[in-house]
Chains A and B, each alone.
Chain A
């Protein structure tokens, strides 16, 4: 008997119990569908994080203070802001050294950053606390890909003149001004007047952070007012001349800062240089774990679906014992019966798998918990392939049981 005949007989078997066949397929459908959808969600979130990191600016490097190299905090001291004395702060001296083009030919723009926390903005009765309050230079905007939608950006002249002006992100504008035009208005930050010079073009939320919930002001004005004149820099944001110059730029920064901080051993550096590549690698590996976990959960449901197939096939074989006896009496071989029930199990899982692929692809069109799923084609192939394998594996035992029935006993079965 060929495969076509086995399929025809198995198909009749499935039609004989439509509801039961559909419910069994549903188990496989959910398994395959959830593998596709969950892997797509994991994938989508990974794509999203990558976009966010790329949104930081393509050639951006960030220098942060680091406490790891010194190891001096192990004893009694706590790593609070009050005990930073053993670590050199990032200062204007570092900026000057980095700005030396002959030593650092691969650095294009260098922007010192002072971030102030807990700043409250007030405008005619409305108050709002922006999540970021940044004192910096005019170059910061270009390093971070910010543009000005209304009004004008502050200039390096404003920085030199210690002008008390500020650029507001859209979220801040909405909270303080509503629909009003804020350009030219005066806003109090912790009680100190700043004139709004412009509004930033919205960049949108990047999930981790609302990029529009920001106030940017000249670093000098922030030092004069909110931070204090001797405040250290929170970070230095640097744009390299090109993407290919990133690692050269990173090396130059390290060499320069080791010099200004008088450190000879690079492994005990009191700063760290981050670039997109390292952030992407970190985020990528985190997401990998996330995707694998989601896939594993879905794979378990596929396994449960397979057990459903086995369960229903065992019931079917028991129910049709007499039919098996008849078939054997009129000349069906062991292999014919094995083939018939195996094909029936595989049909269940293949049909369930196909429906599951369709369902998975449809559900993947929908945004799920803020993530736009990105279907990974390997997951579709894998889920469908595993569904067939599950059908074969879980169908084998019931089919073998049917094939081994002795015809006399099977015929006597009521």
Chain B
């Protein structure tokens, strides 16, 4: 097996809220290799979102190590974490999270703005990403002028435009109808086939069924980690 892209090594995450202390993740070990399509499943409160935050470098583990693409995330300051998120991670959120009143093209360009890429190159790459999700003809539309499915595809375009090491999708189909869900999952399949590493967090079994590997969480621990032959993939 190739060198893992992502390593969680005995990771704990503890939240302190006044008197009460909650252990949201407990001794989590996870390795993900380049090109994998991993679904993380679990009931609500199982620690999915906490795991997502840690994988996405939005939060740091209380204990343990997280190594992403050779970088030990532990001990990075805010500015470095922002740079890691910018270069290595592409987020897709349940509620789309596009910038309102800003056209699709500008939304897709945004990560490159923070990366300091020149405007001309930015626009070209953003158009290419929109093309990849089939929305090139909606580039000048604002989020309020797009359907939920279209908004989420814009979000996917934004996630892949910087060519990140990993695409992190948190319940990406949670706010979509079944038709859009199908299209979204097809899109993820295509991204997977083109070699992208995808971590998808979901509680829906039929969404997880499309992934090549399913990790199940319960009470902050990994309870199973199975490879599967995904339906619909090659």
Name A residues whose Cβ lies closer than 8 Å to a Cβ of B.
1-2, 5, 9, 12, 16, 322-323, 325-336, 407-408, 411
Contacts and interface: CB of A to CB of B under 8 A. Distances in A.
A329 B116 CA distance: 16
A335 B83 CA distance: 12
A333 B114 contact: yes
B99 A326 contact: yes
A357 B20 CA distance: 58
A16 B82 contact: no
Contacts of A2: 116
A331 B97 contact: no
A407 to B, nearest CB: 5
A299 B58 CA distance: 45
B86 A330 contact: yes
Given A1-B114, A407-B58, A411-B93, A333 B99 contact: no
A332 B98 CA distance: 14
Nearest to B100: A323
B85 A331 contact: yes
Nearest to B116: A1
Nearest to B168: A329
B110 A330 contact: yes
A332 B82 contact: yes
A411 B59 CA distance: 13
B194 to A, nearest CB: 21
A330 B101 contact: no
A335 B98 CA distance: 21
Contacts of A5: 113
Q: For B83, B114, B115, which residue has the most chain A Cβ atoms within 10 angstroms?
A: B114
Interface string B80-123: 00110111000101000111111000000011011110000000
Nearest to B115: A331
A333 B97 contact: no
Interface of B: 53, 56, 58-59, 78-79, 82-83, 85-87, 91, 93, 97-102, 110-111, 113-116, 158, 162
Contacts of B116: 1-2
Contacts, number: 63
Contacts of A16: 100-101
Given A5-B113, A330-B114, A331-B114, A12 B102 contact: yes
26 contacts: A1-B116, A5-B113, A12-B102, A16-B101, A323-B99, A323-B100, A325-B97, A326-B97, A326-B99, A327-B99, A328-B82, A328-B85, A329-B58, A330-B85, A330-B111, A330-B114, A330-B158, A331-B83, A333-B78, A333-B82, A333-B83, A333-B114, A334-B78, A407-B58, A408-B58, A411-B93
Contacts of A326: 97-99
Contacts of B56: 329
A332 B58 contact: no
A330 B91 contact: yes
Nearest to A412: B49
A331 B99 contact: no
A327 B59 CA distance: 15
A5 B113 CA distance: 8
A-B pairs with lowest CB-CB distance, top 5: A331-B86, A331-B114, A333-B82, A330-B111, A326-B97
A331 B87 contact: yes
Contacts of B97: 322, 325-326, 329, 411
A325 B86 CA distance: 13
Nearest to B88: A331
Contacts of B85: 328-331
A287 to B, nearest CB: 52
B167 to A, nearest CB: 12
Q: For A323, A331, A408, which residue has the most chain B Cβ atoms within 10 angstroms?
A: A331
A331 B53 contact: no
B101 A12 contact: yes
A367 to B, nearest CB: 46
Nearest to B86: A331
Contacts of B110: 327, 330
A330 B86 CA distance: 5
A322 B99 CA distance: 9
B53 to A, nearest CB: 6
A195 to B, nearest CB: 86
B154 to A, nearest CB: 12
A329 B99 CA distance: 12
Nearest to A8: B113
A231 to B, nearest CB: 86
Contacts of B101: 12, 16
A326 B143 CA distance: 14
Contact of A332 (B91, B93, B114): B114
Contacts of B78: 333-334
A2 B91 CA distance: 24
Nearest to A330: B111
Contacts of B87: 331
Q: For A16, A328, A335, which residue has the most chain B Cβ atoms within 10 angstroms?
A: A328
Contacts of B93: 411
A355 B58 CA distance: 43
Nearest to B159: A330
Contacts of B79: 333-335
A322 B102 CA distance: 14
